[in-house]
Amino acid sequence: DTEVTQTPKHLVMGMTNKKSLKCEQHMGHRAMYWYKQKAKKPPELMFVYSYEKLSINESVPSRFSPECPNSSLLNLHLHALQPEDSALYLCASSQPGSLTDTQYFGPGTRLTVL
């Protein structure tokens, strides 16, 4: 099973709402990632968790709060977002130290902030 699942597929929220994006993988991977992709642009790395510890934060605003409750799950908590935060949010996973070092991506959550 090489699948990364993400819920919800679509999310519309107001600027005062609090919502969460969820990501799950059952490949036994110990690194998980959040990327943000604006329309017609390439994905940009936001956060990396390695062995359930935050190892990279690419200077992401604090209104985005990641959480890794266990090795299979990754959440992204959203609060007080701005319309410019509307984007496709992609989750990925990989196995550190593996031969191919492949990142497997989920289908993404398309977020619209009103």
Partner 1 sequence: DAKTTQPPSMDCAEGRAANLPCNHSTISGNEYVYWYRQIHSQGPQYIIHGLKNNETNEMASLIITEDRKSSTLILPHATLRDTAVYYCIVRVHNDYKLSFGAGTTVTVRA
Closest CA to 20 of 83, 99, 98, 89: 89
Nearer to partner 1, 57 or 82 (CB): 57
Distance of closest approach, residue 52 Cβ to partner 1, in angstroms: 14
Distance of closest approach, residue 66 Cβ to partner 1, in angstroms: 14
Distance of closest approach, residue 104 Cβ to partner 1, in angstroms: 7
Nearer to partner 1, 42 or 69 (CB): 42
Residue 100: CB atoms within 10 Å = 7
Closest CA to 22 of 41, 38, 43, 7: 7
Any idea which residue has 């959203």 for tokens? 78
Answer whether 110's CB lies under 8 Å from 9's CB. Answer: yes
Give the binding site for partner 1 (CB under 8 A). 4, 31, 33, 42-45, 48, 50, 55-56, 90, 92, 94, 96-98, 100-108
